[in-house]
Structure 1
Amino acid sequence: MLHSKMHGRRKFVKKERLCSKKLIQELFSKGSSFFLYPYKVIYLPVDNAEEQLPHQVLVSVSKRKFKHAVDRNLVKRRIKEAYRLNKHIISPKLDQNVSFLIAFIYVSPKLLPYNEIEPKLKSAMSRLLDTGL
């Protein structure tokens, strides 16, 4: 188990969750997107010169594809954990005055294991870096 200063920074706190209905609506109406199986990623760069906001993330899993809430919640937990452990990929390399609103929409009809979800999320975040700048 890691017991370092880095371990304390690997949290997925409330400020990093996209909860505001206004911002979610703005993300879906004005945001750009790309598809990288099993995700559709929608992102919107936001200028935050007046306050240092972290990137805000939304995770969505279709009720139509996963009828049972336990399955939807399991997929969301796996995606959030993969993001929490790998958010450093997008954090230090971006301009400090811009943060992203990001939606990870899980589109696979299958319940994928964590060892398949994490590498795909890493490559989606790398692609976000390439397209978002």
Structure 2
Amino acid sequence: MKKFELGKRHKLCGAVAVDRLFTAGDSRSALCYPIKGVWREAARRADGDASCKFVITVPKKRLRHAVDRVAARRRIREAYRLIHGRVEEACSAENGGVADLDIAFVYVANRVLPSASIHAAMERLLGKIHDAGKSTDK
């Protein structure tokens, strides 16, 4: 049975890595309302590390109440947890993936949306990331 877990090894940690994701010129982005994705290819990591690391941001400017920000963050994390296996499969060296990915998910809606719409947006966004990776490999 496939494990749908997200551990520490899947999380993008460190100010340098996050800054590089948002300030480097080689980052790409896509919007699938209510989630904006920003990603960049990173150098291959050690064998025990995940091939795709992520960070979630929910701006206080969009959702003023902490309860709403936490709810949105949980829904994004759950949607990613259910789908991330496909992205990691595509990135893996065995399948011809060229590099690991650092991904930031930014919540752009002004209210907390239902889990179903966030899940659908996450599927579309990860599909765009996967397609963008294919187009650069050619």
Same fold by TM-score greater than 0.5 = yes
2:21 match: secondary structure: helix
Tell me how far 1:36 sits from its aligned partner. 1.8
The answer to whether 1:79 aligns with 2:79 is: no
Equivalent pairs counted in the alignment come to 126
Structure 1: which 5+ residue stretches go unaligned?
Answer: none
Residue 90 of structure 1: SS of its match in structure 2? helix
Displacement of 1:95 after TM fit?
A: 4.2
Mind listing any 5+ residue stretches in structure 2 that lack a counterpart? none
* RMSD, aligned CA: 1.3
TM-score by length of 2: 0.85
Q: Indicate if the aligned counterparts of 2:35 and 2:118 stay in contact, CA closer than 8 A.
A: no
User: What's the counterpart of residue 122 of structure 1?
Assistant: 123
- C-alpha distance in 1, partners of 2:106/2:57? 5
Does residue 52 of structure 2 align to residue 51 of structure 1? no
TM normalised by structure 1 equals 0.88
Per the alignment, residue 112 of structure 2 pairs with: 111
How far, CA to CA, are the matches of 1:93 and 1:16 in structure 2?
Answer: 15
One-letter amino acid matched to 1:20: G
Instruction: Check whether the contact 1:40–1:106 (CA below 8 A) recurs between aligned residues.
Output: yes
| Residue equivalent to 2:65 | 68
- Displacement of 1:132 in angstroms is 2.6
Q: Output the amino acid matched with 2:37.
A: V
- Which secondary structure does the structure 2 equivalent of 1:91 belong to? helix
